[in-house]
Amino acid sequence: MRHTLPIAPQFYVTAPQPCPYLAGRMERKLFTALQGDTATKLNDSLSKQGFRRSQNVLYRPSCAECSACLSARINVAAFTPSRSQKRVTRRAAYLKRRATSPWATEEQYALFREYLDGRHATGGMADMDMFEFAAMVEETPIRSRLIEYTDSDMLQAVCLTDILDDGLSMVYSFFDPALEKLSLGTYIILDHIAIARELRLPYVYLGYWVPGSPKMGYKANFAGLEVYRADQWTALSDPAIYDASTRPLATDPISEQVARINLPDGRS
């Protein structure tokens, strides 16, 4: 009889490049391919261990001298909106939500371009064309949705969202930068918390929170925030106590990091 043995995913490391969050630092990512019949299970498992999805790749920061980036998620049961967040919900209550398949449209891309030009004109995604945008949206081997927010059929905001076995993962969101006073970035997160409650999912995954980075600081404003640190999720305490200084000897070698990764079938 012939037996087919399961093949463990292979992990790789990117070459160092300038960090987009903290000036003067170099970032490096640990990543693996997301494909085949086990893609959903692998994505569910590694998302719980600080990984994020980008198209058909799972990655997490693995910098040589820095461990400032912390994967963040909201514990839905522990979340209570602040007064300002309640105001955000009231101001944007006129928006209608609709969930669609991950299929890119010209209308979405036009809004995406307005968002980048208004908010991230010098960022790494600034030169993305329609084909690259479509790849970002459509190249997903798992259960994903585009959550659109409209006003009289006019597209105001969009979020590419993965549906995990324990929550919603907000892969990427964008909105009309002319509506800055509505705080649509905050509203999208608040609405995803509401969706998670509707689906009885315990978490909303937000990506990375980086102490010392102004562009990522807003995530600490959400009650119930948890961060993945030292191989476990813990509730975020006072954001001011999290240190973003470099400590080369405190960063484990890649081989040790990979050895501690738990795979869906129980292997590590």
Rounded-to-integer distance, Cα 80 and Cα 89, Å: 13
Query: In 3-state terms, what secondary structure has residue 153?
Result: coil
pTM: 0.91
pLDDT at 35: 87
Q: Is the Cβ–Cβ distance between 203 and 193 less than 8 Å?
A: no
In this predicted structure, the answer to whether residue 267 has a pLDDT above a threshold of 70 is no
pLDDT at 74: 98
pLDDT in tens, 196-220: 999 999 999 999 998 878 777 789 9
pLDDT at 123: 65
The string of DSSP letters for 69-131 reads -EEEEEEGGG----HHHHHHHHHTTT-EEEEE-S---HHHHHHHHHHHHHH-TTSTTTT--HH
What structural domains and CATH numbers belong to the chain?
11-259 (3.40.630.30)
